[in-house]
Chain A
Amino acid sequence: GAVVSQHPSWVICKSGTSVKIECRSLDFQATTMFWYRQFPKQSLMLMATSNEGSKATYEQGVEKDKFLINHASLTLSTLTVTSAHPEDSSFYICSARRDGGEMEFFGPGTRLTVL
């Protein structure tokens, strides 16, 4: 199989706080993981590419100092939304790609609500 988990599945926080979201590939190693964001009735937008052992690559318009990504091992990437504000409320979804593969397997997503 190719199972990707995310934690937490949902989180509600106050404006100004930081939130960490974990993405794990449970049964395979993933040198590359991706972070997407999806607003209601919109498509998934790629935020950044997370590379194990190196800095993440951010898409145009995504603030790297606000969305901190750490890919510390071949099975774990974390996204930290720093100083979250209501406009950061969204569905955050990670995906992982098997080494040498092209298919992306998505995690179940994390719904972030910033009050």
Chain B
Amino acid sequence: QKEVEQNSGPLSVPEGAIASLNCTYSDRGSQSFFWYRQYSGKSPELIMFIYSNGDKEDGRFTAQLNKASQYVSLLIRDSQPSDSATYLCGSSGGGADGLTFGKGTHLIIQP
């Protein structure tokens, strides 16, 4: 069974610091990985996706993938209070598969 594990938190980070969110997955066949941000009562919004080993940067966000360790992370630089949300890690086996999500990490950025 495909599983994605995340620490539910809450993870508290001071404003301006780097927030580090981690995720592990069980299915070695997973090919693509996604980070979504979800505010309370709202639908998830895509932040980044990654499918190659290494780092991928987009503005303040950096996604990291290590397929050997089955580990995905998201770094948020210069954290802002508006970054406070639940961050969902999702994996896809490619093709017509839907995403398998972790339970999400609740991030709190303290002003």
Could you tell me which A residues sit within 8 Å of B by CB distance?
Answer: 32, 34, 36, 42-46, 49, 51, 57, 93, 95, 102-109
A32 touches B96 (CB 8 A): yes
CA distance A102 to B98 in the complex (A): 9
Residues of B within 8 A of A108 (CB): 42-43
CB 8 Å contact bits of B32-70 with A (1 = contact, 0 = none): 101010000011111001010000000000000000000
A44 touches B49 (CB 8 A): no
Query: Considering residues A32, A103, A104, which has the most beta carbons from chain B within 10 angstroms of its beta carbon?
Result: A104
Residues of A within 8 A of B42 (CB): 108-109
Segment 73-108 of B: residues with Cβ below 8 Å from A:
88, 92, 94, 96-104
Residues of B within 8 A of A107 (CB): 43
16 residue pairs bridging A and B, Cβ less than 8 Å apart? A42-B103, A43-B88, A43-B103, A43-B104, A44-B88, A45-B101, A46-B99, A57-B96, A95-B98, A95-B99, A102-B51, A102-B92, A103-B46, A104-B99, A106-B43, A106-B46
Chain B interface bracket (under 10, 10 to 19, 20 to 34, 35 or more): 20 to 34
B49 touches A103 (CB 8 A): yes
Which DSSP category, helix, strand, loop or mixed, fits chain A's interface?
A: strand
Residues of B within 8 A of A109 (CB): 42-43
Select B102's contact among A43, A51, A57, A104, beta carbons within 8 Å: A43
Across the A-B interface, the 7 shortest Cβ-Cβ residue pairs? A46-B98, A34-B98, A43-B103, A109-B43, A106-B43, A43-B101, A44-B101
Query: Considering residues A34, A49, A105, A106, which has the most beta carbons from chain B within 10 angstroms of its beta carbon?
Result: A106
Q: Give the Cβ gap from B40 to chain A, nearest Cβ, in Å.
A: 10
Given A34-B98, A49-B98, A51-B96, does the pair A106, B103 have CB atoms closer than 8 Å? no
